[in-house]
């Protein structure tokens, strides 16, 4: 009898889709959705009490509005559109940062958005030339300001040169968020132009490293993850740990410096002033299957365990001067060997950083460069590969070999 292939039902596919969303992203979707549903059931529509209102924050110091405004939404389409946009953005960033780190980033972005919003509103309202006090009384609500920050950060992480706007046309990646700002403002006149603009400004401030002194080191997140009150959340399969992943991979900034991070509240509170963008620490747990998402040690899908010995043997052959040193010979000598999932993710992540256009520090010694030059690679490629690998010559060799392939 012929094989019968049946398509999964809608409920099954919806369940699989929901299971693929990481812990924090799904939690934000649930919180915003439940809050909107409760507002509908109890008939609550006094959003003027919870929205971001510059006048109320300045006059009555109602700081709570900074955070209540991002979880309340004004209509069904508003919350639905924002949450559908959050799922891909939040999922990708959570797999890169980890659940706790993304939560801290969201709080940081919400705070910086509010500060930018207040400063601009105050300057515009009290300028001596043409005061415009409307912005001080503008009631902004919704998660879209954070979404615009995430768009800027995700675009910076991806390293792409252009982005598609709704599949209609491509624009340069650095202008992508601004194009979306204009498009949404033209399509929906009741959206907050200043709220979205401040989200973009916060995103660029984050990627340029202006918030580096506010970002704690890996030990801060590890301490939170190991706390007893969070144990039930950490045990969930969708929770992504901040530790683990690639130790040489950084969230790119235009002032990228690879100085070690320290905890925010460990010892001196100002120690973390020397730390830059958060690292992804190593762990014994396997990495993500998808090379685009160098996760945090706890996977969301199936993971295959590959032998580490084959990886070590391959490195030994690649670095042994007595072996053939041309790229083709090395490739032939390494035939049949498979890199572990974690090593493959390190290579792909380092290649992405090296190709993204961000400045990479020179961390290679001349001896390392000469060793790779003797293998037949060009000096420019060698310097870029070693810089992208953060000085790890093993990863640099794999990067060069992957480029040759």
pLDDT tens-digit readout, 303-351 = 344 333 444 444 444 444 444 444 444 444 444 344 344 445 544 554 4
Instruction: Please determine, for residue 280, whether its predicted confidence score (pLDDT) is greater than 90.
Output: no
| Token pair of 385 as six digits | 């590969």
C-alpha distances in Å from residue 117, one per residue of 66, 84, 193: 10, 25, 10
Instruction: Please determine, for residue 70, whether its predicted confidence score (pLDDT) is greater than 50.
Output: yes
Q: Quick one: average pLDDT of 124-132?
A: 84
Q: What is the 3-state secondary structure (H, E, C) of the chain?
A: CCCCCCCCCHHHHHHHHHHCCCHHHHHHHHHHHHHHHHHHHHCCCCHHHCCECHHHHHHHCCCCHHHHHHHCCCCHHHHHHHHHHHHHHHHHHHHHHCHHHHHHHHHHHHHHHHHHHHHHHHHHHCCCCCCCHHHHHCCECCCHHHHHHHHHHHHHHHCCCEEEECCCEEEEHHHHHHHHHHHHHHHCCCCCHHHHHHHHHHHHHHHCCCCHHHCCCHHHHHHHHCCHHHHHHHCCCCCCCCCCCCCCCECCCCCCCCCCCCCCCCCCCCHHHHCCCCECCCCCCCCCCCCCCCCCCCCCCCCCCCCHHHHHHHHHHHHCCCCCCCHHHHHHHCCCCCCCHHHHHHHHHHHHHHHCCCCCCCCCCHHHHHHHHCCCCCHHHHHHHHHHCCCCHHHHHHHHHHHHC
Left (φ > 0), alpha (ψ -120 to 50) or beta: where does 134 sit? alpha
For residue 261, what are the contacts with CB-CB under 8 A and spacing of at least 6?
A: 215, 216, 217, 218, 219, 272, 275, 276, 278, 279
pLDDT tier, 189 (very low <50, low <70, confident <90, very high otherwise) = confident
266 near 220, Cβ under 8 Å?
Answer: yes
Q: Which candidate, 179, 96, 126, places its Cα nearest to that of 353?
A: 96
Indicate which residue of 73, 78, 117, 196 is catalytic: 196
**What does the pLDDT read at residue 297?**
40
Q: Quick one: average pLDDT of 370-377?
A: 77
| Token pair of 180 as six digits | 């979306």
**Cα 96 from Cα 99, distance rounded (Å):** 9
Least confident of 64-73, 145-154, 245-254: 245-254
Instruction: Please determine, for residue 377, whether its predicted confidence score (pLDDT) is greater than 90.
Output: no
pLDDT tier, 292 (very low <50, low <70, confident <90, very high otherwise) = very low
57 near 129, Cβ under 8 Å?
Answer: no
The answer to whether residue 196 is catalytic is yes
Burial class (CB in 10 A: 0-12, 13-18, 19+), 223: middle
Q: Quick one: average pLDDT of 52-61?
A: 92
The answer to whether residue 144 is catalytic is yes
Higher pLDDT, 312 or 103: 103
Q: Quick one: average pLDDT of 258-269?
A: 34
pLDDT tier, 387 (very low <50, low <70, confident <90, very high otherwise) = confident
Round the average pLDDT of the chain to a whole number and report it.
74
Higher pLDDT, 25 or 255: 25
Higher pLDDT, 168 or 7: 168
**What does the pLDDT read at residue 4?**
58
For residue 342, what are the contacts with CB-CB under 8 A and spacing of at least 6?
A: 246, 286, 287
**What does the pLDDT read at residue 214?**
92
Q: pTM here?
A: 0.61
Instruction: Please determine, for residue 180, whether its predicted confidence score (pLDDT) is greater than 70.
Output: yes
**What does the pLDDT read at residue 373?**
79
Indicate which residue of 144, 149, 156, 192 is catalytic: 144
**What does the pLDDT read at residue 182?**
92
Q: Which candidate, 47, 155, 48, 149, places its Cα nearest to that of 107?
A: 149
Instruction: Please determine, for residue 391, whether its predicted confidence score (pLDDT) is greater than 70.
Output: yes
**Cα 73 from Cα 258, distance rounded (Å):** 40
Residues counted in the chain: 405
Instruction: Please determine, for residue 109, whether its predicted confidence score (pLDDT) is greater than 90.
Output: yes
Percentage of residues in the chain with pLDDT exceeding 90?
Answer: 36
Higher pLDDT, 241 or 271: 241
Sketch out the chain's domains with CATH numbers.
13-244 (1.20.1540.10), 366-403 (1.10.8)
């Amino acid at each position: 009898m012929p094989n019968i292939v049946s398509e999964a039902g809608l409920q099954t596919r919806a369940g699989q889709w929901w299971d693929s969303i990481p812990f924090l992203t799904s939690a934000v979707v649930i919180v915003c959705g439940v809050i909107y549903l409760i507002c509908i059931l109890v008939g609550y529509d006094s959003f003027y009490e919870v929205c971001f209102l510059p006048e109320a924050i300045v006059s009555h110091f109602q700081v709570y509005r900074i955070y209540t405004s991002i979880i309340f939404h004004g209509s069904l389409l508003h919350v639905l559109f924002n949450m559908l946009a959050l799922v891909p953005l939040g999922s990708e960033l959570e797999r890169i940062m980890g659940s706790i780190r993304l939560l801290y980033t969201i709080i940081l972005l919400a705070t910086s958005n509010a500060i930018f919003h207040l400063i601009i509103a105050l300057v515009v309202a009290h300028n001596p030339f043409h005061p415009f006090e409307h912005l001080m009384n503008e009631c902004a609500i919704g998660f879209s300001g954070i979404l615009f920050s995430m768009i800027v950060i995700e675009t910076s992480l991806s390293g792409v040169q252009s982005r598609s706007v709704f599949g209609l046309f491509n624009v340069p990646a650095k202008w992508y968020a601004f194009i979306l700002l204009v498009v949404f403002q033209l399509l929906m006149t009741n959206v907050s132009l200043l709220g979205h603009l401040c989200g973009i400004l916060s995103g660029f401030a984050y990627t340029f490293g202006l918030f580096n002194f506010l970002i704690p080191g890996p030990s801060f997140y590890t301490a939170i993850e190991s706390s007893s009150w969070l144990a039930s959340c950490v045990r969930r399969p969708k929770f992504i740990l901040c530790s683990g992943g690639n130790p040489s991979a950084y969230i790119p900034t235009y002032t990228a410096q690879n100085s070690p991070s320290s905890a925010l509240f460990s010892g001196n509170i100002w120690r973390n002033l020397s730390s830059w963008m958060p690292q992804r620490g190593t762990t014994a747990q396997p990495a993500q299957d998808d090379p685009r998402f160098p996760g945090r040690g706890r996977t969301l899908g199936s993971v295959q365990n590959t032998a580490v010995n084959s990886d070590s043997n391959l490195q030994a052959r690649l670095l042994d001067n007595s072996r053939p040193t041309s790229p083709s010979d090395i490739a032939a000598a390494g035939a049949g060997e498979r890199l572990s999932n974690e090593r493959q993710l390190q290579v792909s992540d380092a290649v992405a950083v090296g190709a993204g256009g961000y400045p990479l520090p020179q961390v290679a010694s001349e001896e390392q460069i000469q060793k790779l030059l003797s293998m037949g690679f060009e000096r420019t490629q060698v310097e870029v590969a070693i810089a992208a690998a953060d000085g790890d010559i093993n990863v640099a060799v794999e990067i060069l070999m992957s480029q040759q392939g």
